[in-house]
Structure 1
Amino acid sequence: MAEVVVSSFLQVIFEKLASLVLTKFELGGDFRKEFEKLEGTLPVIQAVIEEAEERQSKDKKVRIWLKKLREAAYDTDDLLDKLTTKVLRKDKKVWKSLLSLKPLISYFKLYDEVKGIRERLDDIATEISNFQFREVVVYRRSETGERRETGPFVDASEVLIQTRHATVVSNYRSPTIPDVLNGARKLRTLNLLLPLNDDRKALSSIFTGFKHLRVLNLGDCGVKRLPKSIGGLIYLRYLDLSNNFIETLPDTICDLIHLQTLDLTFCYDLVELPRGMQKLKSLRHLKIKFCEKLTQMPAFIGELAMLQTLPFFVVGRTFPESLFQLMQLADLRGELEIRHLENVVRDEYALHAGLFYKKLSRLVLAWGNDHNERKRGKPLSVQTIRCHPSVIVEDLIEDLCPNPVLTSLALKEYPGSQYPKWMNSDTLRNLKELALINCRKCDHLPALGQLPFLKILHMQGMDTLVDFGSHFYGSECNGRPFPSLKQLVLSNCPGLKVWESSDSREAFTCLNKLIITRCPNLMSMPCFPSLHYLELRYCNAFILKSAAKMKSLYALVIDNFPELLFIPKALLENNSRLVTLTISACPMLSSLPASLENLRALKLLKIAWCELLDTFPKGMTNLTSLETLEIIECPGLVSLPEESMEGLSSLQSLSIENCHSLTCLPAGMKHLTALQHLTIMYCSNLASLPDSLPHLSSLQSLNILSCPELVSLPQGTTENIKTLRNLQIRDCANFMELPEWIANLNLLRSIAISGCQCIRSLPQGLQHLTALQHLSIRDCPELESRCRKWHGEDWHKISHIPYVYIGSLVLQKRDDALT
C-alpha cells in the first residue's frame, strides 16, 4: 500500500520546498544552486509517477524504481523538515554561524546532505528513460557523477534501515522493545502495544533513537512520566498518550513545533498542561476529553490559531486564561465545553469568544464545579455560583450565541433567571439534543416545541419550574410541537405541578421514551401516542392514572412509590404488548392486578422491595412468553401459586432473593421445561425444594445461597436434568449431603460448596464425572478433611478434577496431583 502514495508524497515535498525557498533567510550561493537543481528534477519525476504507480503491480523493475524513489522521498522530506524547523524556530544565530562559515563542519555536513539528496534524485530521474513511459521525458544530468549500485537484493540490515512503519506487540512477560528494531533509525511511525510500566529508560531510548518519527503511539502503555528528551522528536506530527497515568507533561513537549495532534484522552490523573504550549503553532487537535483533573488552560492558548479540536476550555480569571482566548481559535469545530463561566470578569470577553463563527456541533456552557462534584458524589443542588460582580449573567449568555450548525447544546448550573433570546430564535433550528441541567432560577422554558429536529431533551434540577404551559409548546401557527422528539428525561423538578396538553394540536407524535424522576408534585401528564418506554421513579401515585391512558407501551418501570396502594387495572389492560415490567420499592403494595394475565407478550417481570406483597395472581399462568422472572426482597411473600407455573413454558431464568416468609416452592415447577438458570438466595425459612426439581430438563445452573433451613436437594432420578453444568451451594448451615443422582450429570463442569458445615462426604459417583473441571470446597471443616490430597477418604473421588480448591488457601491442580 505504501507505493501507491508516492505521487501525493512528492506533492507535499514540492510544497515544502517552495515554502523554504520563499523564506527570508539567505541560504548562500551553494545552497541556492542545489535547491534550483532539485526544483528542476522533481517535475521530471512527477510527470511519470502516475503511470509508474499503475504499472508497478505488473512490472518488477518499475516496482523497484518506485521503492528507491519512495526511500529518497522520505529522506528528502526529513531534510526539508530539518531546514523548516530552523526557520520556524527563527534560530538566526545558527544560520548566521552557518553563513559566516565559522563552524565549517556543520556547514559542510548540511550542504553534503542537500547535495546527496539531489544526486540520488538525479539518479532516479535518469533511470526514467529505461521504462518507455507514455509521458516523454528528456532528462540530462546537471553534472557528472558516478551512479550508485542498486539492485533488488538487500540484506536484513538494509531492510531495517528502510523500514518506516513499525508496530510492537508484547505482553507483561516481555514488555520491551526488540533490540533488532534499533536498526530502523529512520522510522516514521511507531505503535507500541506493550506495557512500559513507566519505564523511562525505554522511553528515553525511543526518543533518542528514532529522531525521524512522525507518528508515535504510546496509548495505554502505563506511562506515568515522560522524559524531557521527548522534545528531541522535532518532526513528530501525531503523539498518542491516551489512557495513561500522566500527571504532568515536560515543558520540552512544546519544542515539537510540527506536532498536529496531541491525544491525552482518558488521562484521568493529568492536572496541568505544560507552559509554553502557544509555541505549538501547528497543533490542530488537542484531545483532552475525560481529563477531569485538568482545572485550568495553559496561558495564551488562543495563539494556537490552527487548533480545530478542543473538547473543553476552562475559563480563568486572568487575561491569558480568559474567554478572550477563544477569539483567535477560528477553526474550532466538533465538541466544546466551556467550564467555570463564573470566572468571566468582563461581559465583552464572551462576545469576543466568537462562538457564532465557530462551526461547533456540540456546545456545553457550564458554571460551577459540575464535573468535580459529580466525581465526589456530592449533590449538585448545594452549589452556590458566585459570578463576578461586574458581570450580568443574562447578558453574558446572550453573547455566547452559537452557530446555527449546532446539533447538541447543554446548559449546566446556569445561575440566571431567564434563558437567552437565541434559544427562541432560528439559531437552534438544527438542534437535535438539548440538556438543561440545574438551571434552578429559570421558572419558564423557551418555546422548545418549535425546534423541528430536536430528538433528545433532558431537563434536570429546575427548582422554580411550576408548569409546562403554552409557552413550552410555542406558537400555534407553527405546526405540531415537538415533531421529532424521541426521548424526554425529566428529573428533580420538585415544584412542577402541571403538564398541560397542547390545545388542539397533536404533540410528541414521535416520543417513544419518557423518564420522570423525583417530580413528587406532578399529578398528570398528556397522552403520548407513540410511547414505548415509560420509567417513573420517586413520583406521586396519581401520575399512574395518566399512564393508564397509554396504549403503546413495551417497557414499564414503576420504582419508589412509597404511598402506592394498588396499580391501576387499566394500566396493564391497555398495554397488553408490554415486553418488560419492573415494579420495585413500593412498600405499601399488597397485591398485583389480575390484569397481569393479559400480558401475553411479557418477557421480563421483576418485582422487588415490595414488603407487603404476599402472593402472585393465579393468572400468571397466561404469561406464556415470559423468559425472566425476578422476585427480590419481598419478605411478606408466603408462596407462589401452583397453577401459576403451568403456563410458563418459555421461562429461562428464575431468581428468588430475600423472601424470608417463603417456606417452599411449588411442585408445579416441573412445567418449567425451558428453565436454564435457577437462583435462590437469602430465603431464611425455605426448608425444601420441590421433588420435581430433577425434571427440569433444560437446567444448566443451580445456585443456592444462604438458605440455612435447607437440608438437602430432593432425592429421585435425574432422567431429565442431565443438562446441569454449574452447581453452587453456599452458606446453608444445615445442608447435609449431595444426592447420589449427581453422578448422572455427565455435563457438570463446576461444583462450589462453602459454609455448609454439616456436609460430611461427597457422593461416590463423583469420580465418574469426566467433564468436571472445577471443584471448590471452603468453610466445610469435615468435608475439607476428607478431601485432603492423597490421605483424605474422599480424595480418590476428586483426584481426576483439573482444578480443586480445598480451604481458603490450598490450591490443587491436576498436574501436581498426577506427579
Structure 2
Amino acid sequence: MVGALIGEAFISASIQVLCDRITSREFIDLFRQKKLDQPLLMKLKVTLLTLNAVLNDAEEKQIENPAVRKWLGELKHAVFDAEDLLDEINYEALRCKLEGEGQIDNLTNKVWNFLSTSHNHFYQSMNVKIQELLQRLEDFVQLKSALVDARDALQGNLKDKKDLKELKLKWSDEDADDSLKEKDVLDKLQPCVNLEKLTIRSYGGTQFPNWLGDSSFSNIQVMCLKDCSYCWLMPPIGRLPALKKLKIKRMKLVKTIGVEFYGRNEGSPIQPFQSLEKLQFGEMAEWEEWVPSGSGSGGEYGPDFPRLQELILKDCPKLRGSLPLACHMPCLKKLWVTGCGVLHDQRATTTTTSSFKMDSYKSLEELFIGDVYETGLLPFPEILLPNLNCLQHLSLCDCPNLLSFPEDGLPTTLASLEIVNCRRLEFLPHQMMAKLTSLDNLQIYYSCDSMRSFPLGIFPKLTSLYIWECENLESLSVEEGVVENLSHLRTLYITGCPKLVCFPGELPAPNLNDFTVRECQNLQSLPERIHTLTGLQHLGIRGLPNLESFAEDGGLPPNLRVFRLENCERLRPSSVGEYWGLQGLVSLEEFSIGGRGSGDILETLLLEQLLPTTLRTLRIWGLSSMKSLDGKGLGHLTSLQSLHISGCDSIQFLPEEGLPPSLSFLRISQCSALEKRYQNKAGEDWAKISHIPCIRINDEVTI
C-alpha cells in the first residue's frame, strides 16, 4: 500500500510539472512563433488537471478493485510518454530562445541549419503527437469513470453516471466460466442513455442482455464487440438511431446474422441502421450466412443500410453467397473484402442478379478484393464490375488462382488499378485497355506471368506506372499513334523483371519526373536520347549486370536532381567522362553510387573532377576494391554538405588534403578501418575531421 501511495504521489507531482511546463513562456512563444495549435496545448493541460483531480478517488478504490490498480499503472506509463514529448518540445523551445537571443555560436548554427529539415518535420508532427497524447489521456479520464467494482455492478450504478460518455468492458479469461452469471453482470452494467461509445470485449455469455441495442440509447455513435466467443446471436444493434461506426470481430460461434441484427419486429416500420456509415466484420471463423431484414430491396420500409459508406469484410472464410450481398446499400463508397475464400456464387448471373442489387452499388468508388485462394472467381457476379459507374480504385491482392477479368471489361471511370500476387491473371486485353481513358495509376506486383510485353502509351491519362516482379516481361513498347499519351507520365518504376531486354528506342515522355529501373538481369539498354527527358529529376539505376553504357547520345537529362547508380558491373568507366556530361548538371544535388563495378566509375569521376560543384549530398557504399578517395575530386565539390560512406572496408583513410570546408555532416558505417582511425577522440586521425559540425560513426553521433 505504501508503494501504491508513493506511485500516486509521483504521478501527481509529474502532472504538476507538466502543467507548469505547458504554461511556461518558452512553450507559449514557440507555439505562437511557429503557428502551432495553442488551444490544443491548453486542452492537454485541462485534461492533465482533470486526471490529477481523480487520483485521490483512484487511490481509495485501488485497495478493493484490481482494475483501478491496473488503471493507475497504465496511467503512469502514459505520464512518462507525456514527459518525453514535452521534453522534446522544451528542447526545441530552448533552442529557438537561444537562437533568438544570438547565443548560438557559428559552429552550432551550421548544425541547426543542416538539421532544418528534421526541425520542419518535427513541427509538422508536433500537433499530431499532442492530439494522440490528448486522446490517450482523455481515454484514461473516461475509463476511470467506467471502473466499477462488483457492488457497483450489482446495484446498477452505471445508470446514475450521467457524465459517462464512453464504457469499455473487458472480461479476463478466468471470468468467462459461467454464461448465466456473465449475462447477469452485463445486464446490471447497463449504462446511462447519454453514452456515446461502447466497447465490449471477451464477454463470456451466450447472449447479450436486452439493453444492448435498446433505441433509448440515442447517443451511441461508436460500438465495438470483440472476442465474445460464446455468443451465437447478434444483439439488435440496428435500433440504435445515432450509431455511425460498428466493428465486430472474433465472435466464433456466430454462424448466421439475420433479422435479429436489424432490430425489426414483425410489421415494425423502424428503419434499421439509420445513421451507420462504417461497418466492419473481422475474423468471424464460423460465419456462413448474412440474411437481409426482409425489406432489403428498398421496399416499404427502405433499405437495410441507407447511409452506409464503408463496408469491410476481413477473414470470414466460410461466408457464402456473392457480392453484392442481399442487403441494400445505396450509399456505399468503399468495399473491402479479404480472406473470404468462398464468398462467390457462379449461379449469380444476369438472370439471378436482381436490379436492386445492381443499384445497391451504384455509388461504389473503391473496391478491394484480397486473399481469394480457393477459387479463380471474383467474389461477385461478373456482370457487376463493368457497371460500377462510379468506381475509381480497384485492388486485386493475393488471388493466385484468378484467371481473367470479366469479359465486359472494367468501368471506364477507373482511375487506379492495383494487382498484387495474381500470377495466373491474364492482363487486360488490348481493347479493354484502350477504354480506360481515366486510368491515372497502374501498379502490377508479382502478377500477370503471361504478360510478355507492356504497351506504354495505351492509357491516355496514365501518370504513374509500377511494374514489380513480372517474371516473363520481355519488353516495353510504344505503338504508333499513342505517343502523345505519354505526355502525362510522371513516374515509371520497373523492378525485378529478369527477362526484360529492352525499352523502346526512345521514350517520348517530356514530363517524366521519376525513372527507376532495378534488378533486371538481362536488360542491355536504357531508352535512347535520355537527355530529351527534360522533366526528369530522379534517376535510379540498380542491379543491371548486362548494362554496358547509356546516355551516349546526348548525356544525362539536364534538370536531374537525384542520381543513383548501383550494382552495374559491366558499365564502362570510359563512357562516364565522355558521354554523361555530369559537370553540366547544375541542378544535381544528390549522387549515390555503390555495389559491384562502381569503384572504377567513382575513381574516374573524382580523378577527372567530373561531379558538378552544385552537389550537396554524396553517398558511397559497398565499394570492396576502392582503397582511397581522391582528395582533389572531393575538394572540387564546394557545395558538398553531406558525405555518407558505408560498407567500404577496403578504404583505409580519408584524403590527406582534407574534406570540403562546406561539409556539415559526415557519416561512416561498416567501414572497419575508417571507424578505428577516425573514432571520436580516440582515433589517430580524429583531429582531421573534428571540425565537421556533425559526425556519425555507426550509431555514435558527435556534435
Which runs of 5 or more structure 2 residues have no equivalent in the other structure? 1-40, 58-67, 79-131, 176-181, 264-271
Q: Residue 579 and residue 694 in structure 1: after superposition, are their counterparts in 2 closer, same or farther (change >3 A)?
A: same
Residues 248 and 273, structure 1, Cα contact 8 Å, conserved in 2:
no
How far is the alpha carbon of 1:499 from its aligned partner? 5.8
Deviations 1:283-318 (A, max 9, x none): 6446467x9877787976326843613433358576
Q: Does 1:369 align with 2:315?
A: yes
2:536 to 588, 606, 626: 626
Aligned-pair CA distance for 1:727: 0.8
Structure 2 contact 424–450 (Cα < 8 Å) conserved: no
Instruction: After superposition, give the CA deviation of every residue in 1:341-367 in whole Å (9 maximum; x if it has no partner).
Output: 78457886764999923323235374x
Quick one: which of 235, 248, 252 aligns to 1:301?
235
How do 1:707-786 and structure 2 match up within 5 A? 707-716=623-632, 721-740=637-656, 742-746=658-662, 748-759=663-674, 780-784=675-679
Which residue matches 1:16? none
C-alpha distance in 2 between matches for 1:261 and 1:648? 58
Q: Residue 402 in 1 paired to residue 355 in 2?
A: no
Cα distance in structure 1, aligned partners of 2:463 and 2:304: 44
Given that 2:44 and 2:134 are in contact with CA atoms closer than 8 Å, whether structure 1 keeps it comes out as no
Tell me the equivalent position of 1:272.
202
Measured after TM superposition, the shift of residue 421 of structure 1 is: 2.9
- With over 3 angstroms needed to count, the CA separation of the structure-2 counterparts of 1:483 and 1:238, relative to structure 1, is same
Please name the residue that 1:535 is paired with.
Answer: 443
Q: Aligned-pair distance for 1:492? A: 6.0
Please report how far the alpha carbon of residue 257 of structure 1 lies from its aligned counterpart in structure 2 after TM superposition. Answer: 2.0
Distance 1:600 1:292, change over 3 A: farther
- Write the mapping of 1:563-712 to structure 2, written as runs, cut at 5 A: 563-570=472-479, 573=483, 575-577=485-487, 578-596=489-507, 598-641=508-551, 644-645=554-555, 647-662=556-571, 664=573, 666-667=576-577, 668-683=581-596, 686-687=599-600, 688-690=603-605, 691-693=607-609, 695-712=611-628
In 1, Cα distance between equivalents of 2:428 and 2:698: 61
Residue 449 in 1 paired to residue 365 in 2?
Answer: no
Over the residues paired in the alignment, what is the CA RMSD in angstroms? 5.1
1:432 paired with 2:365, answer yes
Could you tell me how far apart the structure 2 residues matched to 1:570 and 1:197 are? 71
Equivalent position SS for 1:219:
helix
1:345 and 1:531 map into 2 onto residues whose CA distance is 36
1:593-638 Cα distance to aligned partner (Å, 9 max, x none): 3213x33322211111111224445512222221001112112233
**TM-aligned CA deviation for residue 756 of structure 1:** 3.4
Give 1:360's aligned residue: 307
Contact 2:506 2:528 in 1 (8 A): no
Q: Does the Cα contact within 8 Å between 2:455 and 2:476 map onto a contact in 1?
A: no
Cα deviation digits, residues 115-161 of structure 1 (max 9, x gap): xxxxxxxxxxxxxxxxxxxxxxxxxxxxxxxxxxxxxxxxxxxxxxx
Distance 1:705 1:565 in 2: 31
Q: Scaled by the length of structure 1, what TM-score is found?
A: 0.54
CA change 1:633–1:355 in 2 (3 A) is farther
Number of residue-to-residue matches in the alignment: 538
Cα distance, 1:402 vs. partner?
A: 1.3
Amino acid at match of 1:562: E
* CA distance in structure 1 between the partners assigned to 2:284 and 2:54 by the alignment: 50
Kept in 2: contact 1:579–1:603 (CA 8 A): yes
Q: 1:754 to 1:301 in 2, by over 3 A?
A: same
Cα deviation for residue 261 of structure 1 reads 1.8
Rounded to whole Å, the distance in 2 between the matches of 1:344 and 1:755 is 53
- 1:718–1:741: 8 Å Cα contact kept in structure 2? no
Name 2:278's counterpart in structure 1: 335
Amino acid at match of 1:228: L
- CA 1:337/1:217 → structure 2, altered by over 3 Å: closer, same or farther? same
Residues 795-810 of structure 1: matches in 2 within 5 Å? 795-797=686-688
Correspondence list, 1:196-207, <5 A: 199-200=71-72
CA offsets 1:732-769 (integer angstroms, 9 cap, x no match): 122233235545423x221122343455xxxxxxxxxx
Q: 1:417 aligns with which of 328, 333, 346?
A: 346
Match of 1:228 in 2: 147
**In 2: Cα distance, 1:401 partner to 1:643 partner:** 62
Letter in 2 for 1:406: L
C-alpha separation in 2, matches of 1:432 and 1:296: 37
Distance 2:325 2:639 in 1: 68
- The letter for the 1-side match of 2:667 is A
Pick the aligned partner of 1:486 from 396, 401, 415. Answer: 415
Q: CA deviation at 1:678?
A: 1.1
For residues 183 and 702 of structure 1, do their structure 2 counterparts lie closer, same or farther at Cα, with a shift above 3 Å needed? closer
| Conservation of the 8 A alpha-carbon contact between 2:646 and 2:669 | yes
Question: Does structure 2 retain, via aligned residues, the 8 Å contact 1:404–1:428?
Answer: yes
State the distance in 2 between where 1:804 and 1:457 align.
Answer: 47
Contact 1:317–1:345 (Cα < 8 Å) also in 2: no
TM-score (norm 2): 0.62
Alignment deviations for residues 298-341 of structure 1 (CA, whole Å, 9 cap, x no partner) = 97632684361343335857689954441225435111234577
Q: Tell me the SS of whatever aligns to 1:359.
A: coil
What secondary structure, in the 3-state scheme, does the structure 2 residue paired with 1:781 have? helix
Residues of 1 paired with 2:494 and 2:539: CA distance? 12
Does 653-662 or 250-259 show the bigger shift?
A: 250-259
Give the CA deviation at 1:184: 12
Letter in 1 for 2:443: E
Paired with 1:643 and 1:544, the residues of 2 have a C-alpha distance of 26
Deviation at 1:551, TM superposition (A): 4.4
- Following superposition, the deviation at residue 181 of structure 1 comes to 4.5
Amino acid at match of 1:257: C
Shift of residue 259 of structure 1?
A: 4.4
Contact 1:283–1:306 (CA under 8 A) maintained in structure 2: yes
User: How far off its partner does 1:536 sit?
Assistant: 4.0
